[in-house]
Amino acid sequence: MLYWSLVFFVVAIVAAILGFGGIAAGAAGIAKVLFFFFAVIFLASLLWGRFSGPRSRPPAI
């Protein structure tokens, strides 16, 4: 998902350089949504792993 966010960001940069303002704004909007969606999923999985309960430990030798 972060990959697609970067792809749309690059498309927005190239479109802006070439003068396609509408396409650049659309691609930048999509990149922003994908990035925040990635950030939310990343934080949720980080918290889920942190608070998911005790882990089993290998027996002491």
> How high is the pLDDT of residue 38?
93
| CA trace torsion 17, 20, 22, 28 (10° rounding) | -30
Residue 12: other Cβ atoms inside 10 A = 21
User: 5-36 pLDDT, tens per residue?
Assistant: 889 889 999 999 999 989 899 999 998 999 99
The stretch 36-54 carries a mean pLDDT of 88
pTM of the model: 0.70
